[in-house]
């Protein structure tokens, strides 16, 4: 599922995402999980764990990692890589913040 490459999609405000939490955004191309860390950094991943397709947006955010709520796989928010010893990777999307508004770069 690819969107218009190079386009940015406005997805809300940083304040709409709970600290150490996530917000799910449905698009016509894919479902995005937006994560906000304790220090207010925002990351975007495809909202699908590579292990069993669980919703990462329901996971637990700790530092720059999220733990999948279904089977405990840990995914890096910066890269989308599943942490060892588990294999896998989730699509990571670029994030832009301007005046407190979040936009995500479409693949």
Structural domains of the chain sorted by starting position, each given as residue range(s) with its CATH number in brackets = 21-105 (2.102.10.10)
Q: Tell me the pTM.
A: 0.91
Beta bridge partners of 101: 13, 98
List Cα–Cα distances, 47 to 7, 53, 90, 98, in angstroms: 19, 8, 8, 23
Q: What is the mean pLDDT of each run of 10 residues along the chain (107 residues)?
A: 66 96 93 96 95 90 94 94 93 96 92
Return the structure tokens found at 91. Answer: 């699509």
């Amino acid at each position: 599922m690819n969107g218009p490459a190079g386009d940015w999609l406005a997805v809300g405000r940083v304040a709409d995402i709970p600290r150490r939490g996530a917000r799910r955004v449905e698009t016509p191309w894919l479902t995005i999980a937006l994560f906000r860390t304790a220090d207010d950094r925002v990351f975007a991943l495809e909202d699908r764990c590579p292990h069993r397709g669980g919703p990462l947006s329901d996971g637990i955010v700790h530092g720059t990692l999220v733990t999948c709520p279904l089977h405990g796989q840990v995914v890096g928010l910066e890269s989308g890589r599943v942490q060892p010893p588990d294999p896998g990777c989730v699509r990571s999307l670029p994030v832009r913040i301007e005046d407190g508004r979040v936009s995500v770069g479409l693949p």
